[in-house]
Structure 1
Amino acid sequence: MTKPKNTLLLVLAFFAIYVIWGSTYLLNKIAVQELPPFMLASIRFTVAGLLIFILCKMLRIPLNITKKQLKNCILAGFLFLSLGNGFVVWALQYVDSGLAALEIAAQPLVILLLMRILDGKKIQPMSILGVIIGIMGIFLLVSQNQIISNENTLLGMVMIFMCMLSWAYASLFVAKADLPSNYFVNTGFQMFAAGIILMIGSLAIGEEWILPTQWSSPVQYSLLLLILFGSIVAFTSFNYLLKIVSPEKVATSTYVNPIIALLLGWWYLEEQITTQSAIAAVVLLTGVYFINTKKKLVLFSRFSSKNH
C-alpha cells in the first residue's frame, strides 16, 4: 500500500535529487584532489548521520528502531554509500566530474535490467529500444581515445560502473525493505553506518587522515555543502521518493545530474567537453527517456496495431 503523496514535498524532493546531486560531482572532485577518497566520504557521511540524530532529538523524533530495521539500514548504507558513493569518490581522482555523472546517467538502464533479472518484470518494447540506445551512448562515452589510452581513467570508469550496480540493487532493496518509517531516522542510520564502514576501510588501506584545519578553504566549503545538502537534504529526499514513487521514476534524476555536472565541471574546473562526449550525452539521455516514458509507449503501441 503506497503512502499518500504531498505534491510540494514531491517537487522539493525531486529538485534535491535533480539539482543538488548534480552539483555533488564538482564538490567531490574539488575535495578529493586534496583529501584521501575514503577519508573524505567517511567524514561526510559520519558527520551527516550525527547531525541528523541531533536534529531528530531536537525535533523529538524517536530514534528507536528494530534489529531488522537496523540490519537493513546498515546493508542499505553499505550498498548506497560505502560502495555506491565511496568508490565513485575514489574514481574521481582519475575521471572528470562531468564524465562520471554522464556514465552514471545509465543507471535507469541498470535498474531496468536488474528488475527483469531479480523480479521478473517484463521489459516493454520502448524500454528495450531505450536499452539499445543507452548501450550505444555508453560505448560512445568510454571509447574516446583519451579514456582508452589512460589506464587510470579507464579503471575509474569501470569502478563507477560497479558502483552503479551497487546503487541500482540498493534502490530495489530499499523499495521493499523494512526500514524506519521516518525518513530522517532512516537516512541517519544509513549514513552513520556507511561512514563507519568507510572509516574502517580507510584505516585498513592506510590512508593518511588530515585535520580540517589543514584543509584549503575550497575543500572546507565543499565538504560543508556535501554534508548539509548533498547528504542530509538530497539523500533524505531520495529515501522519501523510493517509498512514494517507483525506482524507475527516482532514477530519472539522471536526466539532469550529468548536465549540471558537465556544466559545473567545465565552468569551475575547466574540464573539457569533447564533441563525442556531447553526442554520447544526447544518445544516452535519449535512451534513458525511452526507458522511462509512458506516452511514447502508448503511441508505439497504436502505431504497431495499425501496421499488423
Structure 2
Amino acid sequence: MSLPRKTVLIVLAFFAIYVIWGSTYLLNKIAVSHLPPFFLASARFLVSSIIIFLIAKSLKVSLKISKKQFLNATIAGFLFLTLGNGLAVFALKYVDSGFTALEISAQPLVVLIIMRILYGKRITIMPYIGVILGFIGVFLLVSQKQIISQEGQVLGVILIFVCMLSWAYASIFVGKADLPTNSFLNTAYQMLTGGIMLGVVSLILNEQWSLPNVWKVHVKWSMLGLILFGSIVAFTAFNYLLKEVSPEKVATSTYVNPIIALILGWWVLNEQITTQSVIAAIVLLTGVYFINTKRTFKPRV
C-alpha cells in the first residue's frame, strides 16, 4: 500500500530541513571566511530567486500575486533572510558553525515563549520543563570560557540570539499570513525581496563586492551548495511545511541541524567540540524534546 502523495512530500520536506540545513552552517562558514557576510547572503538569495522564477515559468506557473501577498512575502523575506540569515552569517565570522547551529537549536523554546506572550497560549507542564532545560542548556553553551574570552565571540552570540528571535516570529507570521499558495513562488518572492534588502545593507556597510571568477574554488562550491540545496530545495521545503504543519513541528529541525553541523564543523574545519558543549547540547535538545512532546494549548482564562 503506497503512502499518500502529501505524506511523501511532507517526509521529504522534513528531510530537507533536517539534513540539508544542517550542512549550510558549514557552507556559510567557508564562504564568509572569504566574502563579506551581507554580500554573500544577498548574492545567494538573489541568484536562487531568479532560478526559482525560471523554474516556475518553465512549469507554466503564473508569477502574479496580490499586493497583500507581495507585502507579506517582503515582511517574511526581511525577517527570515535579511535579519535572520544575514545576522547569522555575520555571526559566523566570530563563532564556529557547530556552536551557531547549537545555539539556534533553542528556537522552539523561543517560538513557545512568543506564542505565550503574543497569543496567550496556555501550555502544560511538559513544555515548561522544556523551557527550564532550554535556558540551562543555552547558559551552559554560551558561558564557556572559550566563548567569553575570545574577541568578537560575545557579539556573535548576541547576533545569533537576535537571528533566532527573528526566525521564530517569522515562522509564526508565515503560518498565518496570506502568502502565495505555490511554495515555489512563495520562496522566490521572499528570496527576491530579502536578497534586495540584504544588498542594500551590504552597500550601506560599504562591503566589497566581487565576481565569482575571483573566488577561491572551495568558496564557489560552498555558494553552489547554498544556492541549489540550502536555498532552493530546503527553503522551499520549509515554506511548504509551514503551511502544512504547525510552526512548532517545523522548528523540530533543530534536533538534527546542530548534530550535523557539529560533526561537519569538526570533520571539515577541525572545530573544537568541548565536553561542556556536549552537555549543553544534551540538556538543550532534551528541553526541545519536552517542548514538542504531548503539547496542548489552552486559552487564557
2:205 alignment partner in structure 1: 205
User: Are the aligned partners of 1:84 and 1:164 in contact in 2 as well (CA < 8 Å)?
Assistant: yes
Q: CA deviation at 1:123?
A: 2.0
Match of 1:234 in 2: 234
What residue number does 1:218 align with? Answer: 218
Q: Is the 8 A contact 1:74 1:189 kept in 2?
A: yes
Aligned to 1:301: none
Match of 1:16 in 2: 16
TM-score (norm 2): 0.96
- The 5-angstrom pairing of residues 141-220 of structure 1 reads 141-220=141-220
Aligned-residue RMSD, C-alpha: 1.1
Q: Deviations over 1:213-238 (max 9, x none)?
A: 01011000000010010001000000
Distance in 2, Cα, partners of 1:190 & 1:53: 12
SS in 2 for 1:122: coil
Aligned to 1:81: 81
Aligned length: 293
Once the 2 structures are TM-superposed, how far is the Cα of residue 137 of structure 1 from its aligned partner?
Answer: 0.2
CA–CA distance in 2 between the matches of 1:234 and 1:119? 28
Structure 1 contact 138–280 (Cα < 8 Å) conserved: yes
- What SS is found at the alignment partner of 2:218? helix
What one-letter code is carried by the residue in structure 1 that aligns with 2:15?
Answer: F
Instruction: Look up the match of 1:257.
Output: 257
1:247-293 Cα distance to aligned partner (Å, 9 max, x none): 11000000000000000000000000000000000000000000001
- Which runs of no fewer than 5 residues in structure 1 stay unpaired? 299-308
Structure 2 distance, partners of 1:232, 1:124, is: 37
Residue identity in the other structure for 2:33? Q
Tell me how far apart the structure 1 counterparts of residues 210 and 267 of structure 2 sit (CA, whole Å).
28
Corresponding position of 2:104: 104
| 8 Å CA contact 1:109, 1:131 repeated in 2 | yes
Cα shift at 1:96: 0.1
- For residues 41 and 269 of structure 2, the distance between their equivalents in structure 1, rounded to whole angstroms, comes to 21
Q: Following the alignment from structure 2 to structure 1, what is the Cα–Cα distance between the partners of residues 123 and 105?
A: 19
Please list the CA deviations of residues 42-99 of structure 1 after superposition, one character each: whole Å capped at 9, or x if unmatched.
0000000011100011000001000000000000000001111011000000000000
Amino acid at match of 1:241: L
Is the counterpart of residue 56 in structure 1 residue 59 in structure 2? Answer: no
- Rounded to whole Å, the distance in 2 between the matches of 1:118 and 1:62 is 35
Scaled by the length of structure 1, what TM-score is found?
Answer: 0.94
Whichever residue aligns with residue 216 of structure 2, its letter is S
Q: Could you tell me which amino acid in structure 2 is paired with residue 201 of structure 1?
A: V
Q: Choose 16-25 or 115-124, whichever is displaced more.
A: 115-124
Q: Secondary structure at the match of 2:64?
A: coil
- Provide the C-alpha distance between the structure 2 equivalents of 1:134 and 1:205, rounded to a whole number of angstroms: 35
In the TM superposition, 1:277-288 aligns within 5 A as 277-288=277-288
Shift of 1:151: 3.6
Distance apart, 1:5 and its partner CA: 7.5
Match of 2:299 in 1: none
Q: State the AA in 1 paired with 2:29.
A: K
Task: Provide closer, same or farther for how the CA distance between residues 8 and 112 of structure 1 changes in structure 2, counting only shifts above 3 A.
Answer: same
- Matches of 1:191 and 1:95, distance apart in 2: 25
Partner of 2:6: 6
Structure 1 residue ranges, 4+ long, deviating more than 2 angstroms after superposition: none
The alpha-carbon deviation at position 210 of structure 1 amounts to: 1.5
| Corresponding residue number in structure 1 for 2:37 | 37
Partner of 1:65: 65
Which amino acid counterpart does residue 262 of structure 2 have in structure 1?
L
In structure 1, how many angstroms separate the alpha carbons of the residues matched to 2:216 and 2:195? 22
Q: Say whether residues 1:275 and 2:269 are aligned partners.
A: no
Secondary structure at 2:152 match in 1: helix
